[in-house]
């Protein structure tokens, strides 16, 4: 039904008839139509059809400014330039890679501080790439030419995230950053900058958690692959929600999954954990109810992160 201005009540005989409302944008034009949003009278020239009734041009313009222009499809602010976040992440990865490369590569102390090691290791101070298997922190500290490099179980909790920014091989960082460049801006365009960063970082954390649980505690894991797989998982969920054609993504995901499980020296644990983490985060974002979207998303994202941290705490207790 159209929004109507209330007509005057019947006028008793002898009383003057009140004038009809006039369009607020065109004084002198009488009308009984009112804007559905603001209630002001509008003439046929100012009437813009709305889902219910009519709206005036000013309310339609304000609605567009409040929603379509600044809101992303799944809540939050739309990114003015969705490539900025991915470029920033690429620069951070490149800076850490350059630092490690310039300080010794696999022998760099930064490599051992930032890469993910479930447990600590006793390394040669002159060559950190060489270590003594089975030597604990107490025994390592007795000799001057040895140094103890802590792992997550020894308090180096930051490795759960810094490992996702750590690379040594050129091909490793090259492929990961190329994938980030292709995947990042598109996903940020769909879900906004804050939610994109949440998917990226929590996917990296989820990959580290699965490494912590399923990898050999003496191995060292590094690279942004878990976070990149998280972006692929996020795209998969968003594509399913939007009923888009996801066959190219499935093909690309299948090739990477096969490489993860069949290639030598590849952390399938980090890839799988990142993929599942990205899918979970994207599902929370995409399927949150519209009437309470921001609140449900916040509770879901924080809750999922807390679950991951709880799994880390349980695993650390087992490794100690």
- Residues recognised as catalytic: 225, 271
3-state secondary structure of 49: strand
Residue for token pair 């950190």: 128
Alpha-carbon span 142 to 25, nearest angstrom: 87
Tokens of 76: 């939050």
In this structure, the number of other CB atoms found within 10 A of the CB of residue 88 comes to 12
| DSSP track, 83-100 | HHHHHHHHHHHHHHHHHH
The span from the first CA to the last CA of the chain, in angstroms, equals 70
- The angle that helices 193-214 and 293-319 make with each other, rounded to 10 degrees, is 20
3-state secondary structure of 261: helix
Alpha-carbon span 118 to 216, nearest angstrom: 8
């Amino acid at each position: 039904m159209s929004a109507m201005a209330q007509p005057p009540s019947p006028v008793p005989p002898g009383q003057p008839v009140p004038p009809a409302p006039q369009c607020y944008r065109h004084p002198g034009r009488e009308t009984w139509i009112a804007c559905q949003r603001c209630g002001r009278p509008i003439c046929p020239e100012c009437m813009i059809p709305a889902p219910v009734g009519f709206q005036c041009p000013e309310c339609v313009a304000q609605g567009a400014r409040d929603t379509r222009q600044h809101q992303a499809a799944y809540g939050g602010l739309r990114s003015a330039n969705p490539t900025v976040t991915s470029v920033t992440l690429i620069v951070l990865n490149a800076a850490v890679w350059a630092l490690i490369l310039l300080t010794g590569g696999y022998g760099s102390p930064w490599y051992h501080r930032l890469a993910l090691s479930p447990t600590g290791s006793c390394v040669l101070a002159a060559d950190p790439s060489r270590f003594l298997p089975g030597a604990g922190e107490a025994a390592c500290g007795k000799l001057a030419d040895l140094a103890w490099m802590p792992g997550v179980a020894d308090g180096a909790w930051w490795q759960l995230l810094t490992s996702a920014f750590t690379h040594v091989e050129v091909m490793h960082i090259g492929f990961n950053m190329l994938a980030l460049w292709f995947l990042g801006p598109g996903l940020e365009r769909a879900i906004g900058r804050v939610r994109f960063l949440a998917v990226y970082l929590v996917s990296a954390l989820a990959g580290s958690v699965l490494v912590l649980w399923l990898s050999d505690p003496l191995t060292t894991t590094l690279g942004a692959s878990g976070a990149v797989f998280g972006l692929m998982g996020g795209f998969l969920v968003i594509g399913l929600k939007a009923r888009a054609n996801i066959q190219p993504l499935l093909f690309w995901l299948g090739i990477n999954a096969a490489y993860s499980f069949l290639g030598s020296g590849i952390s399938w644990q980090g890839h799988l954990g990142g993929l599942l983490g990205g899918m979970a985060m994207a599902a929370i974002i995409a399927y949150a109810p519209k009437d309470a979207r921001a609140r449900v998303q916040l509770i879901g994202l924080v809750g999922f992160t807390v679950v991951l941290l709880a799994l880390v705490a349980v695993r650390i207790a087992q490794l100690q």
